Structure 1
Amino acid sequence: MRLIGLSEVLPGEPVTNRDMAERFGLHERWLDRMTGNRSRYFCDPHSSEDVPKNTGDLATSAGRQAIEAAGVDPAGLDFLVLATGSPDHLMPATVNTVADRLGINDIPTFQLSSGCAGALTALYTARGLLAAGLRRGLVIGADSVVKLWPADRDLKRIRPAELANFALFGDGAGAAVVDADDEGPGLVVEHLLLRTVGKGRAPAQVVRWYGADGAPTVPGPNGTQVREAMGEEDYKAIEEHVPGLACMVLEELAAATGWRVPEVEHVLPPQLNGAMTEKIRQRMGVSAEQAVSCVADTGNNGNALPFIQLHRALRRLEAGPGTGGRVLVTTIESSKWVVSGLALRHRPEGVRDVA
């Protein structure tokens, strides 16, 4: 499998920690310290027409840009895969509305429900489809998290720790056009791993769906009753397990490819938040020059993040001297504990980039 076009989409203008502090009564310096994130992006249903307003808008824009970057005709695609943890509806599947908007028809489509490992889960699926005889496809990761904010909406009544959790996230999308012919230019997949490691372990991230009756009420601060939040994270469990799992994946990729990690030009660590990602990078033994991180500026946009990292790694590869640049990608999903990793080799003068 070869990646021949990449994209990233972030909606609207960045929302800084100062903006969050003013909007929700949080402290800017506290957010800096707790999250390590400087900004994030949110879809706004009331924004101007050309700004994405939901997951489908984000995915459509990312898909269109990846197709343009690859220089291919949408009619020549053989499949479409969308990974998301925040579809616009349960039905119709968001992937099918995206296909319609892109002018794609008469091909199989797949929507994968996932989180941080979703992008590589989608690429794993795409590789299987290519191995089965299909020639070319489009893979998208997209998430919009506004719908996951506390259902009560009176955010000043929510515990600060819970608000900090939500301040980690942001909206975004990324995409890749993938091709079965690995002889051409682009990012050639050398190894791809994906598996669950959550047997007997409690989920560390939960996103609920309440159905027609809506969220139940639960005890809130100072004896109040508030509506239960749609999402929550066990940050202590994430802090305990993710760094070690990331190191494990990196070691497996190195063993499978024969690459020495200190010599690999670009390493993409898990993107939980700016503070945690920096700790993981150091534990992995990856230098700051090797690391390709974006979460401190984009927020944690879930299924989009590895595509955004790959898009930015590609810019580095195309701007740098020499040939044969290597890329290692590690992603860890804490919802029910999924590990995934990807090793790619850059073949120059291939992937055309769309800024």
Structure 2
Amino acid sequence: MSRAAVLTGIGAMVPDRMVDNDEISTLVDTNDQWIRTRTGIERRYWADPGVSTGDLAVEAGRRALESAGVDSVDLVVMATSTPDQPMPATAPRVATDLGLGNIPGYDLSAACAGFIYGLHSATGAIASGSCERVLVIGADIWSTRLDPEDRATAIIFGDGAGAAVLRAGDPEEPGAFAGFDLGSDGAHKDLAVLPAGGSRQRSRGEPLREADNYLAMRGKEIFTHAVDRMAGSSTALLERIGWHTSDLDWFVGHQANARILNTVADVMHADRERVLLHLDRVGNTSAASIPLALTDAAADGRLQPGHRVLLTSFGGGLSWGSTALLWPDVAALAPAPRT
């Protein structure tokens, strides 16, 4: 019988500092009603000075390990676009801080689709027989990479980390990932980009522009591509595994914008009541958004064992991906409510 990757633990972490829409309105020309109407976001959390992506990843990973009831894994896969530094990777440091020993660990960069890519990578490691358990972490701190005067990005992003423990198991048991659909399109690489620090920007031999230090996005175009790619990927996956939209208990998309998620549901003829929303409380947390949403929903009881769950994501690159599972009986460790 083939080996499957089975979700056995999940945990999440956000920073202490809560930033509501009223505070954002002191930075850019906007207001609470405009932000809620356009994005669905009410607040987000930003890391204090000295707190890194790796710090949040360690805490999320610790909670996921506790949720799974284990203190060891064979591999750490960390999805992030905001590592502690360009080199070395952040994952080995996270593994060390978690006391996991000299196991392999690597960073994976697929923007907001990173967590799904990480699950796919972990599933391959388990299916090959090289790993029995894998810790997958999605973590990003975008607050330090945002132009405080750019309304297109300043109102959207929050910081956070989410993690999941996967173990080898039976393809038919709850928690087993039923399949994946992934894709990318580099022709649209400039729709969301952070130039500073990369070899292309440095190879130009020109002085670093201040704008190069900040994330730049073309929001309207991103919206269209996000809807098309997540709906298409989700549909392709469901057809491959023999599920129907009507079978879904929860549709869990990348938490970027409530209008995007609702539009994807409409395109797929899915019930909007089944769209899991968490972005209102944390904003767009990039690679952390799906595990944060899952942890929160499992902790408060919305996600129940046996629920059929579809996960889908979209990010810069362009990159996108989807997977699905029957939700297992797992104890989710979410961050304590913050005010």
Give the TM interval when normalised to the shorter protein.
0.7 to 0.9
Find the partner of 2:87 among 86, 91, 94: 91
Counterpart of 2:286, as a letter, is G
Q: Give the corresponding residue for 1:49.
A: none
Deviation sequence 1:119-173 (CA, Å, 0-9, x none): 01111110111122111111100000122122xxxx4xx4xxx323222101000
The TM-score normalised by the length of structure 2 is 0.87
For 1:327 and 1:67, the matched residues in 2 are separated by: 22
Question: Aligned letter for 2:33?
Answer: R
Number of the residue aligned with 1:179: 167
Q: 1:183 to 1:331 in 2, by over 3 A?
A: closer
Aligned in 2, Cα 1:202/1:119: closer, same or farther, shift over 3 Å? closer
- Give 5+ residue unaligned stretches, structure 1: 47-52, 218-225
TM-score w.r.t. length of structure 1: 0.83
In the TM superposition, what is the alpha-carbon distance from 1:68 to its structure 2 partner? 0.2
In structure 1, the residue matched to 2:64 is 66
1:336 is matched with 317
1:163 aligns with 2:142: no
Cα distance per residue 1:213-240 (max 9 Å; x no partner):
99734xxxxxxxx644421011121122
Q: Aligned pair count?
A: 324
Query: What RMSD, in angstroms, separates the aligned Cα atoms of the two structures?
Result: 2.4
Name the structure 2 match of 1:222: none
CA distance in structure 2 between the aligned counterparts of 1:316 and 1:32, rounded to whole angstroms? 23
Instruction: Name the counterpart of 1:352.
Output: 331
Name the CA shift for 1:227/1:137 in 2 (closer, same or farther; >3 Å).
closer
1:67 match: secondary structure: helix
The one of 244, 260, 266 aligned to 1:276 = 260
Q: 2:109 aligns with which of 102, 107, 113?
A: 113
- Cα 1:115/1:94, change in 2 over 3 Å: same
Contact 2:81 2:111 in 1 (8 A): yes
Structure 2's unaligned 5+ residue stretches are 335-339
CA distance in 1, matches of 2:283, 2:183: 25
Aligned partner (choices 18, 25, 28) of residue 21 of structure 1: 25
Match of 2:111, SS? coil
**Percent identity of paired positions between Structure 1 and Structure 2:** 30
Contact 2:80 2:287 in 1 (8 A): yes
Q: How does 1:259-338 map to 2 (within 5 A)?
A: 259-315=243-299, 320=304, 324-333=306-315, 335-338=316-319
Change (3 A) 1:229 1:127: same
Structure 1 pair 199–55 and aligned structure 2 pair: CA distance change class (3 A): closer
- Larger CA Rg, structure 1 vs 2: 1
Partner SS state of residue 274, structure 2:
coil
Partner of 2:229: 245
**2: distance between equivalents of 1:300 and 1:96?**
26
CA–CA separation in structure 2 for the residues paired with 1:185 and 1:310: 19
| Distance in 2 (alpha carbons) for counterparts of 1:216 and 1:178 | 42
Aligned partner of 2:208 in structure 1 is: 216
Change in Cα spacing, 1:183 to 1:262, as seen in structure 2 (3 Å) is closer
For residues 47 and 227 of structure 2, the distance between their equivalents in structure 1, rounded to whole angstroms, comes to 30
